[in-house]
């Protein structure tokens, strides 16, 4: 997991987790749909089913195409604890992905710079393409950002008192 200083600040100073939460039915539904491959790209099937009009030629590379289709706002699916649910969803998504494939996946959690509402993006890391965000310059972005290809140990953040 890597995060920029803005996200670390949110996690350490403005974020608390006080109860055990579980993924909502609609988030579980996204995961249960599984994955689909199309033109060498990998998608969460739930979102791919809504993207029939989007052509892969529109995008400069596969990573951009995957991030566009595999993107959603957490507040469209739940009503509170957005960051908690985002981290839990990230972990569940990666767990499901690695059952499906051994290709390295990355999940991006970015927070709106004003209201801190999360956007989740998912893509496959490719050696011959740039990552969606420049991970060496995450602090240059205005939004708090976290990127993970492995399960996030959310106890590091959630058990603070």
Taking only the tens place, the pLDDT of each residue in 38-83 is 999 999 999 999 887 777 777 889 999 999 999 999 999 999 888 9
Radius of gyration of the chain (CA): 15
Task: Kindly state the DSSP code that residue 104 receives in the 8-state scheme.
Answer: P
Burial of 20 (0-12, 13-18, 19+ CB in 10 A): exposed
What is the average pLDDT value for the chain, to the nearest integer? 89
- Stretch 135-151: mean pLDDT: 93
Instruction: Identify the pLDDT of residue 41.
Output: 95
Max CA-CA distance within the chain? Answer: 49
Instruction: Identify the pLDDT of residue 46.
Output: 97
Taking only the tens place, the pLDDT of each residue in 97-122 is 999 999 999 999 999 988 889 999 99
Structure tokens belonging to residue 66: 């995957």
């Amino acid at each position: 997991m890597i995060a920029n200083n803005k996200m670390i600040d949110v996690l350490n100073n403005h974020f608390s987790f006080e109860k055990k939460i579980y993924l909502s039915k609609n988030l579980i539904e996204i995961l249960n749909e599984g994955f689909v491959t199309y033109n060498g790209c990998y998608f969460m099937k739930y979102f791919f089913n809504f993207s029939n009009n989007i052509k892969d030629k529109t995008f400069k590379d596969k990573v951009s195409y995957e991030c566009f289709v595999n993107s959603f706002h957490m507040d469209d699916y739940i009503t509170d604890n957005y960051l908690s649910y985002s981290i839990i969803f990230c972990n569940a998504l990666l767990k499901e992905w690695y059952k499906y494939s051994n290709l390295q996946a990355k999940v991006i959690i970015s927070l709106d710079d004003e209201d801190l509402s999360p956007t989740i993006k998912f893509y496959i890391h490719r050696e011959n393409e740039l990552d969606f965000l420049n991970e060496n310059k995450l602090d240059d972005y205005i939004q708090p950002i976290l990127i993970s290809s492995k399960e996030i140990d959310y106890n590091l953040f959630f058990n603070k008192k």
